[in-house]
């Protein structure tokens, strides 16, 4: 599989190399879409290659269909692009708002503070009813 320059840089070019390879595009997007420990493995590789923590701007380069998430559809598009089956990304030329890192990763951690508050309030209610 060939390396191929982005149809609209920097989209797809997560490592800022001036091109996209299957392992840098489709593989990483697929691993991030998979979630869990596989996603952590992909994030660790990005961290090591960039030499720093990846930002939302870095990760947004893998959202090639522009829906604000890194999904298996992005992996498919990146794979087809590097294989020469398609010549552009759906997100090329889309204005779009910059998504957050949590949105891109399909992260649910933003629910934790809410769950914690509900648990504390519930506990306080039980305590006050019993006293």
Q: How far is CA 38 from CA 12, 32, 33, 34, in A?
A: 20, 7, 9, 6
Q: Is 100 in the site for Ca ion (CB under 5 A)?
A: no
Work out which of 13, 24, 58, 74 binds Ca ion, going by CB under 5 A.
74
Given candidates 3, 49, 65, 88, which one binds Ca ion under the rule CB under 5 A?
Answer: 65
Counting contacts by CB under 5 A, is residue 67 touching Ca ion? yes
How far apart, in Å, are the Cα atoms of 93 and each of 37, 54, 116?
Answer: 33, 23, 41
- As measured in angstroms, the least distance from the Cβ of 84 to Ca ion is 21
Closer to Ca ion by Cβ: residue 52 or 108: 108
Span from 41-49, 66-74, 81-89, 120-128 in contact with Ca ion (CB under 5 A) = 66-74
Q: Tell me the window of 2-10, 21-29, 61-69, 113-121 that interacts with Ca ion (CB under 5 A).
A: 61-69
Binder among 28, 63, 77, 105 for Ca ion (CB under 5 A) = 63
The size of the interface with Ca ion (CB under 5 A), counted in residues, is 6
Rule CB under 5 A: say whether 3 interacts with Ca ion. no
Q: Which residues bind Ca ion (CB under 5 A)?
A: 63, 65, 67, 69, 71, 74
């Amino acid at each position: 599989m060939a390396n191929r320059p982005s149809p609209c840089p920097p989209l797809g070019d997560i490592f800022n190399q001036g091109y996209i390879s299957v392992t840098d595009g489709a593989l990483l997007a697929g691993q991030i879409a998979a979630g869990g420990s596989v996603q952590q493995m992909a994030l660790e590789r990005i961290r090591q290659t960039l030499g720093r923590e990846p930002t939302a701007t870095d990760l947004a380069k893998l959202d090639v269909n522009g829906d604000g998430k890194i999904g298996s559809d992005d992996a498919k598009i990146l794979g087809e692009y590097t294989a020469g089956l398609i010549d552009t990304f759906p997100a090329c030329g889309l204005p779009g708002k910059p998504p957050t890192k949590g949105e891109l990763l399909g992260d649910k951690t933003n629910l934790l503070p809410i769950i914690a508050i509900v648990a504390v309030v519930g506990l306080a209610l039980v305590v006050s009813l019993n006293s």
